């Protein structure tokens, strides 16, 4: 479990395709690995991955074909947002994030508005129903608040601090981003199915 508060920007130093799967060595940047052991989870661009090998400054992960199919952003030398798994004693600064990406969205617009930036994303239709105004969403691992929603499109406001601490500053129209919707919305939907068993969804 994670919070969506990015702790460092890392870089994919080595990418080895292994059939449809991949093995990646990631430089941790400013992320301390002193309290990380083999088998621990680290969110990489919002994707929960297991550290299978560690040094003081980098960690290795293995990525399945299914994960690669459902996500984006894993290219050689790409910069990635990093967050270590949440501990029970940690502050929950963002929102509860599972690290299980629901789908990939497309950036429609990204531009400065005053000191902040306005980000507009088109979400896959199957995810749009979970995105609500003033609700939470994770974009490339970053916990953000939705400002507006129009069908499958939604907008976000990024303050300078968020841009400085994450890779979201690199976005442009056409960029593809990992999306994870608020898990509470999924639980509410599931419970409502039992309250209204005729609902086809």
Mean pLDDT, residues 8-36 taken together: 97
Tell me the percentage of the chain whose pLDDT exceeds 90: 84
Q: How confident is the model at residue 197 (pLDDT cuts 50, 70, 90)?
A: low
Average pLDDT, the chain: 93
pTM across the whole model: 0.91
Length of the chain: 201
Mean pLDDT, residues 3-14 taken together: 97
Q: How many CB atoms lie within 10 A of CB 67?
A: 18
Distance, in Å, from the CA atom of 126 to the CA atom of 181, rounded to the nearest integer, reads 11
Decide if 82 contacts 6 (C-beta within 8 A): yes
Place of tokens 């994960």: 67
Q: Which tokens belong to 68?
A: 């690669």
Strands 153-158 and 58-63: unpaired
Distance, in Å, from the CA atom of 25 to the CA atom of 5, rounded to the nearest integer, reads 22
Q: Tell me the domains of the chain and their CATH numbers.
A: 8-84 (2.40.30.20), 103-191 (2.40.30.20)
């Amino acid at each position: 479990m994670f919070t969506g508060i990015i702790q460092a920007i890392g870089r994919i130093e080595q990418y080895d395709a292994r059939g449809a799967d991949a093995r990646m060595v990631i430089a941790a940047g400013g992320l301390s690995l002193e309290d990380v052991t083999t088998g621990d989870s680290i969110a990489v661009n919002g994707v929960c991955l297991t550290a299978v090998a560690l040094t003081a400054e980098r960690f290795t992960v293995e990525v399945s074909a299914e994960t690669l199919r459902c996500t984006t952003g894993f290219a050689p030398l790409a910069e990635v947002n990093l967050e270590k798994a949440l501990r029970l004693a940690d502050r929950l600064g963002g929102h509860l994030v599972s690290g299980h990406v629901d789908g990939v969205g497309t950036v429609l617009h990204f531009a400065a508005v005053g000191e902040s930036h306005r980000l507009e994303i088109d979400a896959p239709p199957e995810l749009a129903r979970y995105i609500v105004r003033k609700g939470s969403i994770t974009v490339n691992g970053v916990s953000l608040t939705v400002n507006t929603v129009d069908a499958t499109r939604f907008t976000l406001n990024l303050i300078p601090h968020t841009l400085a601490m994450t890779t979201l500053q690199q976005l442009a129209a056409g960029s593809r981003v990992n999306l994870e919707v608020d898990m509470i919305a999924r639980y509410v939907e599931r419970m409502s199915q039992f309250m209204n068993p005729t609902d086809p969804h």
